[in-house]
Structure 1
Amino acid sequence: MTDSHFPQPARAATVAWLNTILAERLSGQLRLSQPAPGHLLLSLPGSDVGIRIESDYATFSQACSDLPCSHWDATAEGWQTPLRLPLPAPGMDTLPFPLIEQRATGYAIHYDILGLTYWMLSRQEEVGRTDLDRHGRFPAISSHAYKHGYLERPVVDEWLAILAQVVRRAWPGLPLARHSFSTCLSHDVDTPARYGFSSSGRLLRTMAGDVLRRHKLLEALQAPVIWLLSKEKLHARDPFNTFNWIMDVSERLGIISAFYFICGRTQASRDALYDVRHPAIRELMRRIHARGHEIGLHPSYNTYQRPGSIVSEARELFETCREEGIEQSGWGGRMHYLRWQTPGTLYGWEQAGMAYDSTLSYAERPGFRCGTCFEYPAFDPVAGKALHLRIRPLIAMECTVMAPRYMDLGSGEAALNKFIQLKESCRAVNGKFTLLWHNTLLERQQERLLYQSVLLA
């Protein structure tokens, strides 16, 4: 099947969206067009030179993970990959040689770099999938990237780096966009206090757990006092109240932390015990804002298929912040439990007027679910249209690496090496290392040392 079998409006919208991606990543002067089925043309107004890119729309419009995958040795053709490794080429059984061919009118690229970009960034692979985990999430192990061993590589960024090299050779005088590495740090506020916000019965059960499972008798004895004194402000001795410490570390490193709050309850056993309007939460939010950090939304458990619920919870956050005199230039956040459905979840964020979402990573494996560590404009692959919302891919959640239920690397050297490996991959493409670390996983000194080591690496 050729791309001529697909509706022209959908192709036109996709090309327009890809133009936006290329403007952000390479140059706003470049123009992408589809002069004929089977190829795309990257051109520069006023120049007779062009870059012809073979188009495989039929392959990269599939909602499946069964595509073939080959690898390309860029160095054999005089090109350099950011990670200095052979480059995965999803969608291809075998690759022609040369893959990139110089011609009198410019260059021809015999691999659909932009089709791959569309397929990964739009999450076309995930549309309508039924092979989901117990939380209704598309799992890493079902993904093409995991099956073919490139989940921990920013494959889209690597291919766009190759395209940038071709652009430089085609138009040596064209200035290209400059990018620099950064760390983006966020914290989902699922449980702001171990003892505050509990009922008396839950408090007793927590105290029993402190003694029997955690062997922390002193904390159990202090719990009733901490609970009683948490009505207006989080108690300084509550083990989960690590917020000041988090902000201290961020400020020393020149990082702005984002704290995402749950503002609704759609599944009592999975959602937060606190109400965002509680005086202690209001005080915490005022303190975060006063120190120059960000407040965002963490939609409750069952909202990922309910755009209207995301909208109502966003309104709850906005109204509470307005009452506290908290103003921000933009708002974003992340779905609870990383629950996501493509494309439905996009519309909750879009309709709520949020600037960005930072959900897209897998719970059980870290890496590049979208193939990129760069923020980009969202695209609905079903309706074939671009949205105002921006996607900020999550590269690693701390419990994905550390927790026994996932990778089980603990809080020592093995975990640090994994975080550093992911961070260095982002650095290699001058991208953004987006890290999620919950306030509840900074109780122990070893966890704090790991956290600081990751940020300092």
Structure 2
Amino acid sequence: MIPEPQCVFLRAADNFAPCVDYVARTFSRWARFRCEICTPEEFVGKPRPEHPSFVIYYGTRDDFQAWFSSVEKKVKGQPLVGISRSAFFGQSFLESPDLPESPSQLLDMAKEEGFSKHVEHVGERVCFVDVDLIASSFWFLTRYEEYVISPPEAHDRFLCSFSIAPTEMYDQPVVNRWFEQLKALVLRLAKKEDTMLVPRKATVVLTHDIDLLRKYRGLAGVRRTISAMMHGDAREATSEIRMASLVLAGLRRDPFDSFDEMFSLKERIGAPSTFFLMGGGDAPLDGDYSLEDQNVRELIMRILSKGDEIGVHPSYETYRSPELIQKETKAVEEAIGHPVIGARQHYLRFALPETWYALAECGLRYDSTLGFADKSGFRCGWSGCLRPFDIEKRIELPIIELPLVAMDITLAVYEKIPPEKAVERLARLMDASETPGGAFVVLWHNTLHDRRAYPGYWDTMEYFLFASAGTVEFTTAGKMCEEFELRMVHTG
């Protein structure tokens, strides 16, 4: 095995050191570097059996130049990159939601030619990057603005439309892109090859939130459906009444009963997936099934027999309640006969950082909720797994986040992308997710099979997945989590 390059990351020992250290650790885990974090003074004063592969200094330009001038002879020949420190980590921290740098600069830095414009060569194998990539990465990875802005939304969700960042910044995992450019720079200075740049397929994590199993849930369900249709086109209402009658008479399958088609496609393309099942909840927007129902037991057996993963889908009111999450997780575990390791919150309801704490308290190892309900894309600026961070306590949390990238209902209902164009949108997001350790996490509901409500979208999802087969690697959310945990063992 080729040993990982050793990186030393230098920063001030101030109140914001834990925040800076978090970004440094996230970078080193992604880049597969062994990373030591210390102050500039500690670096100079500490004897070392060998020189590190390279050094990254985070500070203002003046501080960097003054420090480099004082130690130039001692670090001569040492690859060294300075990164500008803005005023973000300062007195207005957690008061203003603003980005540390201008959006245009940050988007420019995601491209090689744009990044190079902000790199100043100040000596032999010594460079200075004049954009604060550390604070900017922190802003996205931690969802900093969500600690400052209160979401005025019916379901208490933070929507992309609330973000002060331009929407195009979420079309790619910008933090991964910055890390790619930074890693390429330090390896060039160190005259080392990137052992991670091995051609590989994109990774797709196919997931399913099982919210509802039946559209026509007895007479009450039919009444709700008919009432909703009566406010629309009269012919549609008549057609809906006819369909409900046929389903209740046993002459037609319920539109939400789409598992035969779903499993058939999964088998043809060799795609394992993760199903998130509800273990309770009695809010109006919660599920319509019990884990003890015979059809649910049969579905569970079918999922497990295919080698797929089952996680818990905590109900509508659980996102601030570890007690409710614990109760529902236990119910799912009893139904499937083994421990559950992951979750996705119903309706994507999530409170930072309370929901992470609640999930971790229940022994869950990962969450896959953090995607925007109203826009597909990279909410954390990140593709793949990461450790979340509590900004207020300034600590890393003992759980893994695998951010959701695309949800079928987002495309159909919120973004209103026509089915024929949704394939192109999914393909662009999948391509953007490609980075070492990255993953295109997509949510495909069984309810999408309701062709009256979502005309053309089931076919769109089938076509996209079938067309991707052979060019991508399918895996489960749980396996992504396990790979990330193994990486942390080696890099810290």
- 2:320 is the counterpart of 1:281: no
Aligned 8 A contact 1:117 1:156 in 2:
yes
Correspondences of 1:200-215 after superposition (within 5 Å): 200-203=219-222, 205-206=224-225, 213=237, 215=239
CA deviations on 1:234-293 (whole Å, 9 max, x unpaired) are xx92221112322222232232111111112152x1111212232221221111011111
1:370 paired to 2:375: no
Q: Give the residue type in structure 1 aligned to 2:381.
A: G
Residue type matched to 1:420 in 2? A
Distance of 1:292 and 1:419 partners within structure 2: 26
Q: Taking structure 1 as reference, are residues 286 and 48 closer, same or farther at Cα in structure 2, changes over 3 Å only?
A: same
Of 132, 145, 149, 2:152 maps to 132
CA deviation digits over 1:55-96, x for unaligned, max 9? 336359546433351434999xxx9827x8x57xxxxxxxx9
- 5 Å-filtered alignment, 1:148-167, equals 149-167=168-186
Letter of the 2:102 partner, please give it.
C
Contact 1:27 1:176 in 2 (8 A): no
Give yes or no for the alignment of 1:351 onto 2:371. Answer: no
Q: Does 1:187 align with 2:208?
A: yes
**Does the CA-based 8 Å contact 1:27-1:175 persist in structure 2?**
no
Classify 1:449/1:382 alpha carbon distance in 2 versus 1 (closer, same or farther; 3 Å): same
Matched, 1:103 2:119: no
Alignment partner of 1:421 is 2:445: no
Q: In structure 2, what is the Cα distance between the partners aligned to 1:300 and 1:80?
A: 37
Corresponding residue for 1:258? 274
How many Å separate the matches in 2 of 1:378 and 1:272? 28
Query: 1:99 Cα deviation (Å)?
Result: 3.0
- Which stretch of the first structure deviates more once superposed, 130-139 or 16-25? 16-25
d(CA) in 2 for partners of 1:25, 1:278 = 43
Secondary structure of 1:302's aligned partner: coil
**1:344-399, Cα deviation, whole Å (9 max, x unpaired):** 11111111111211111111111111001221112211111112211111111111
Cα distance change of structure 1 residues 106 and 30 upon mapping to structure 2, 3 Å threshold: farther
Matched, 1:442 2:449: yes
CA distance in 1, matches of 2:393, 2:124: 39
Counterpart CA distance in 1 for 2:123 and 2:94 is 32
Q: Who is 1:233 aligned against?
A: none
Q: Note the C-alpha offset of 1:25.
A: 1.4
Equivalences, count: 416
| 2:256 is aligned with 1:248 | no
Match of 2:475 in 1: none
The structure-2 alpha-carbon separation of the partners of 1:410 and 1:73, relative to structure 1 and needing over 3 Å to count, comes to closer
Per the alignment, in what secondary structure is the counterpart of residue 107 of structure 1?
A: strand
Out of 222, 237, 240, the position equivalent to 2:246 is 222
TM-score in terms of structure 2 length:
0.75
In the TM superposition, residue 189 of structure 1 has moved relative to its aligned partner by: 0.6
What SS does the aligned partner of 2:261 have?
Answer: helix
Match of 2:98 among 66, 73, 80: 66
Paired residue type of 2:442: L
Aligned-residue identity in percent: 26
Distance change >3 Å, CA 251–CA 24, structure 1 → 2: farther
Q: Is there any run of 5+ residues in structure 1 with no aligned partner, and where? A: 88-95, 228-235
Query: In the TM superposition, what are the counterparts of 1:293-332 in structure 2 within 5 Å?
Result: 293-322=308-337, 327=338, 331-332=341-342
Match of 1:91 in 2: none
What's the TM-score once normalised by structure 1's chain length?
0.80
Inter-CA distance 134–214: structure 2 relative to 1 (3 Å threshold): farther
Unaligned 5+ runs, structure 2: 1-10, 42-57, 68-74, 230-234, 469-492
